[in-house]
Structure 1
Amino acid sequence: MPNIQIKDVPEATHAVLRQRAAAAHQSLQEYLLSRLVREAAQPTVDEVLDRAAGRAGGSLPLAGAVNALRAERARR
């Protein structure tokens, strides 16, 4: 499994992370690994938009969809 090393972490940041790891009953390494795994599992907005753009489907442009939604809401 690959390793990651982070150098020059500010002391205050290191202290906060150690406290959070202790509060979670984890070593600092376990705590940071769980945070990194969670971060990598959550797609960014750009990744979500890229995936959505690549899907086949409707041909209505965004502006048309917004207008249709507004019109439907106005009818209620």
Structure 2
Amino acid sequence: MTAFTIREVPDDIARRIKVRAAEAGQSLQGYLLSLVTRDATQPTLAEMADRAERYATEDIDIQDVLDAIDAGRTGR
């Protein structure tokens, strides 16, 4: 596993992070790891745009849209 070091964190930011970790019932290390993990696992805006572009360029015709609407209505 890799270890990270963050230098020159302003005192007020460090205090806020420590308070948030305590409120979450986590150690500072655990809290920061959860923040880094969440950030690293979320798609970036560029990845989301690429995904949207792929979906937008799929061959979908009017009948596909109407079938999807009908399927949604019957599921209610």
Taking the aligned partners of 1:28 and 1:22, their CA distance within structure 2 comes to 8
- Count of residue pairs the alignment pairs up: 59
Tell me the percent identity: 43
Q: Unaligned 5+ residue runs, structure 2? A: 60-76
Match of 1:21, as an amino acid? A
Match of 1:10, as an amino acid? P
Task: Using the TM superposition, give the Cα deviation of residue 51 of structure 1 relative to its aligned residue in structure 2, in angstroms.
Answer: 3.7
Q: What is the TM-score normalised by the length of structure 2?
A: 0.66
Q: Over aligned residues, Cα RMSD in angstroms?
A: 1.9
Q: Is residue 68 of structure 2 the alignment partner of residue 57 of structure 1?
A: no
Q: Which runs of 4+ in 1 moved over 2 A?
A: 50-58
Task: Using the TM superposition, give the Cα deviation of residue 12 of structure 1 relative to its aligned residue in structure 2, in angstroms.
Answer: 0.2
Q: What is the TM-score normalised by the length of structure 1?
A: 0.66
